[in-house]
Chains A and B, each alone.
Chain A
Amino acid sequence: MNESMQVEIAGLTLKNPLLPASGTYGYGREYLPFFTPDLFGAVVTKGVSVTPWVGNPPPRVYETPSGMLNAIGLQNPGVERFIAEALPFLEPYRTPVIVNVVGKTIEDYVAVVERLNDFPVVSGYELNISCPNVKEGGIAFGTQPDCAFQVTAAVRKATRKPLIVKLSPNVTDITAIAKAVEEGGADAVSLINTLLGMAIDIRSRKPVLGNVVGGLSGPAVKPVALRMVYQVYKAISIPIIGMGGICSAADALEFIMAGATAVAIGTGMFHDPMQPQKILDGIREFLKDENIGSIAELKGIAHD
């Protein structure tokens, strides 16, 4: 509708720069009472694996100061049920669909992508090489530059669709991973995934989460996420989707000024299901107030 909000990322034209963060929006159906998938510049789905994953034992979520821990364990019905149930639901909407892909081996990632390549409704992929929740899961890929390179390169060979790689913040130098996936052929990166944390129930003397550890998200992680986007922007030349604690238009604008082309909201949607709409309205208002013709003009502006 409004050209000033349009952005380009990984060869996709998005009508606005706001996406849902993977895993917080399901496959889009659950938020229909509040808004349709077309609200977003693109939809990013919950992670999809080759075979169904049951996920972690409960409790899986716990609120912490200005944030929350989650250890869902990437529960998902597997790619076949995703094709049967989620794709037909998403198909009628006009917004591009980016499928988040998870795997335990490089072959798993490749298999999901190869299975989905022929579906026109799938506009691109986001590889979750960083989820800290599953013990044998993506952690190895996302924490070592060579593993991150290998999985990216293998999936790159398997698809010509836009390929986004989602980075883990649980590393000593996120720019090294970002460079590795750029070299591996990624069209864009997204960051950050959750920060590994935990909580203990002092009455039961036990960890709160069934999985013991979980990922921290929400406003508590925003300064860390913003710093990482700022650093990665300087290190690579492919676009960035920034996320981590975004709850307002001001938060979103900070990420864009740090170097993000687009941004995602996750935990902020749990705070208020109308938050995505409020963020979009707030960005539009800011552009108008500041007389800025296009959101793209603000990208990385904090670096000069």
Chain B
Amino acid sequence: MRQTEALIVERTVLGPGYYYYRLLCPEIAELAKPGQFIEIKVSSEGTLDPLLSRPISIYRIDRKEGSLAVIFKTVGRGTRRIAELKMGNQVSIFGPVGNGFTLPEETGRIALIAGGIGMPPLFSLAEHYPERDFTLFYGGRSAGDLLGLEAWEKLGVPYRLATDDGSAGFHGLVTALFEKEYEARPFDYMIACGPKPMLRAVQQLAAKYRLPGALSLEAYMACGVGACLGCTCVTTKGYKRVCVDGPVFDISEVAFDE
């Protein structure tokens, strides 16, 4: 984990409220693994508000350039502050934080299940393991919420889309889409990142089909380094810190409340 002033070398608006940033931060890029995240300071220089840094997943790792890319959605004051930053600006970040994904030797056919802004860490994973057999199931509210599809195409990972309003792909839940595909041709491993209700449904599917896998969780965070115990989630082995014990957990380990 390192702290640095990262230089913004690319800023792209992907759609209303969606941003792509590429950050020059060689020390962090050197250490980064798929599934980890960075903490971005969101107060402007010399001010204290918003007080806490915001966790954002690593979307792409480019060790040669020494850069990391992120994709985020503006949902509140913190993310809106990041979106105000321009190319050439610097932003204070630290990371990489978290355990990241660890794939077992043999994973067979892997289903990646992304809900909304849960897609970025799954991309870094797929890019890191070009030899594995991934299929992406990507769900969102509507077509405009499904981002970076060309990049998935370039990677050669097949994808299936689902939207709540039917404006792209399957009209309905991404987990229903997965089930349809599974019945036709089974998967051996599941990895999901997205909103809690989706993760819970994915966990139920994994239990139903007896599939191993992993879930990447979110939580409100304060320190982002494992010190404050503020970001805990409930697991079968008690409370665990999402920031450093996660954000990636075994699919059967997470205990969702009702």
B-binding residues in A (CB < 8 A): 23-26, 30-31, 33-34, 54-55, 57-63, 65-68, 70, 72, 75, 218-219, 247, 267, 269-274
State which of B62-70, B139-147, B215-223 sits at the interface with chain A.
B215-223
* A-B pairs, 5 with minimum CB distance: A61-B230, A33-B1, A26-B227, A30-B227, A30-B226
| Contact partners of B51 in chain A: CB under 8 A | 63, 66-68, 218-219, 267, 270-271
A68 touching B52, Cβ below 8 Å: yes
| Contact partners of B221 in chain A: CB under 8 A | 61
| Contact partners of A218 in chain B: CB under 8 A | 48, 51
Greatest chain A CB density within 10 A among B92, B225, B227 is at B227
A-binding residues in B (CB < 8 A): 1-3, 41, 43, 48-53, 92, 94, 219-234, 238-239, 244, 257
| Contact partners of A58 in chain B: CB under 8 A | 219, 231-234, 239
| Contact partners of A75 in chain B: CB under 8 A | 229, 232, 239
B interface majority secondary structure: loop
19 pairs from A and B in contact (CB 8 Å cutoff) = A26-B227, A30-B226, A31-B227, A33-B1, A55-B239, A58-B239, A61-B221, A62-B220, A63-B52, A63-B220, A66-B51, A218-B48, A219-B51, A269-B223, A270-B51, A270-B224, A271-B43, A271-B51, A271-B53
Greatest chain A CB density within 10 A among B3, B41, B48, B92 is at B48
Q: Of B50, B227, B228, which contacts A70 at CB under 8 A?
A: B228
Docked Cα-Cα span, A62 to B51, in Å, equals 11
| Contact partners of B2 in chain A: CB under 8 A | 33
| Contact partners of A72 in chain B: CB under 8 A | 228-230
Q: Of A23, A26, A59, A273, which contacts B94 at CB under 8 A?
A: A273
| Contact partners of A269 in chain B: CB under 8 A | 223
| Contact partners of B257 in chain A: CB under 8 A | 57
B222 touching A68, Cβ below 8 Å: yes
Docked Cα-Cα span, A263 to B223, in Å, equals 20
| Contact partners of A23 in chain B: CB under 8 A | 228
Docked Cα-Cα span, A219 to B228, in Å, equals 18
Distance to closest chain A CB from B217 (angstroms)? 10
Across the two chains, which residue of chain A brings its CB closest to B244?
A30
